[in-house]
Amino acid sequence: MLLEANMKNSIGKIAVFGDIMIDSYWIGSTNRISPESPVPVVNINHTENRLGGAANVALNISKMECPVTLSGLVGVDGNAKELQELCHQHHITTQFVAEASFPTIKKLRIISRQQHIVRCDFEEAPDLTPALTAKITQSLKTTIDENDLIVLSDYNKGFLSDPQALIQHARAQGKFVIIDPKGDDFSKYRGASLLTPNTSEFEIVAGKCRDEAELFAKAEKLRIELDLEALLITRSEKGMTLFERDKEPVTFSAKAQDVFDVTGAGDTVIAMIATQLAKGTPLPQACKIANIAASIVVGKMGASYVTQEELDYELGQSDRPHNLVLSKEALLHEVKRAKMNNETIVMTNGCFDLLHRGHVKYLEEASKLGHHLIVALNSDASVKRLKGDLRPIMDEKSRATVLASLSSVAWVTLFDEDTPEALIREVLPDVLVKGSDYRVEEIAGADAVINNGGRVELIDFVDGYSTSSAIEKIIASQQ
């Protein structure tokens, strides 16, 4: 791929062309129904304007520290000024086309209790005369000449009325062209380097697919018909599948994730691919990273972006032997994120040597007390100090991996001290859990949890099960 060869020693400049808009959010509380009609009354206490549409693509690129230029159609109005100011704040170079007869597009979302109540769109189809279209196309060709990689973010609002002229101009210079398509006719995108439809957009053009084999066949057929270097179909919970010329299809599995809002996820995908290619990353690896970035952004409210720190953290997650076994620093990061979403953190601790039915039942009961259960696990050195030189039977890595495999457990972390009190004081869970053979005043860290507004729960163990008795049976059987 020519772009990859050119970008080995520098970061390429990216141009984003497309339909730009303001995403406005009005957020408030809802406590009653209107007496005028059966609709909720939202008491607005927070408002926020964000970059939307193609501008959100540019925002995602800028957050990856890549130089980016944004071109799109705006009106001559206050919303256009707001867009300009937001782009300036986020270090996005702008080359807007201003048209007095066209109001800048704005989408207003009213949200209460993390739910969308209604969306109000303020937009009109632009009246693009042949002269204005020619002017826009010529301006965009000049921008293509000044950049290394081109992204077309088509929201079907009219700005990309002649994508063929842009594709041909960029491809003639050997520049990579990525397109997020819209509509029922993809022939206008012929010759692009990469097309990134989601499943529903793909099936509008290619037809319904009864199974994966049919989807693969139709995808390759479409890629050939449109003379694309590659076609990437984003498939929601099924991940993404990449179809490249002269290569076998590759599917990138979706990461299990609580989906808060899918708004702008496609923007993040196309922006991340562009960014990675501009840094010299091969296309399959760029798609893999984009897949991870999408899993981050759907956990946020509204059109948003992924930071380099968030991406680095998630990429680091995939390098661990088990992605639920966390260092203390990574655990605190997850806890902070969960608390921001008002999710309840439950925590327990122990050696968990030779996991048995009693352990499993105990952890299942503990997990019912909140959204996420943390198991603080004694390290091998800690177990030896508490249980003697013959323990643990299973090493810390094995114990941690087995615990993390239980559906009841969210995260496992190791501690080396005799008790997890210092760790508990840092995590400050909402609920601290121990066995009913303890009294609250005996539990390490209980005072810190209670003083922070949390509580301590005692859970009964299943009679007849203990690690010590299991070890005794094993020793007896060998004598």
In the structure encoding, which two tokens stand for residue 451, read together?
Answer: 């003083």
CA gap 141, 304 in Å, rounded: 29
Peptide bond into 38 cis (omega under 30): no
Check whether 37 is labelled as a binding-site residue.
no
The number of C-alpha atoms within 13 Å of 176 and in the hemisphere containing its C-beta is 28
The residue annotated as part of the active site, out of 23, 267, 380, 430, is 267
CA gap 351, 388 in Å, rounded: 13
The rounded Cα 379 to chain-centroid distance in angstroms is: 32
311-312-315-319 Cα dihedral, nearest 10 degrees: -160
What value, to the nearest 5°, has the Cα angle with vertex 227 and ends 224 and 232?
75
In the structure encoding, which two tokens stand for residue 408, read together?
Answer: 């009841």
CA gap 39, 168 in Å, rounded: 51
What value, to the nearest 5°, has the Cα angle with vertex 149 and ends 148 and 155?
145
CA gap 403, 423 in Å, rounded: 18
Q: Which helix H or strand E contains 177, and what residues bound it?
A: strand 176-180
Check whether 237 is labelled as a binding-site residue.
no
Residue written as token pair 């091998």: 380
Q: How many CB atoms lie within 10 A of CB 359?
A: 22
CA gap 78, 76 in Å, rounded: 7
CA gap 29, 266 in Å, rounded: 29
CA gap 52, 302 in Å, rounded: 10
DSSP-derived secondary structure for 24-42: EEEEEEEEEE-SSSSSEEE
Check whether 49 is labelled as a binding-site residue.
no
Distances from the Cα of 247 to the Cα of 171, 252, 270, 459, angstroms? 21, 15, 21, 55
The number of C-alpha atoms within 13 Å of 159 and in the hemisphere containing its C-beta is 29
Q: Is 19 a catalytic residue?
A: no
**389 exposed, middle or buried (CB, 10 Å; 0-12, 13-18, 19+)?**
exposed
Check whether 133 is labelled as a binding-site residue.
no
Q: Mind telling me the catalytic residues?
A: 267
- Residues of each annotated binding site for ATP: 198-201
- Residues of each annotated binding site: 198-201
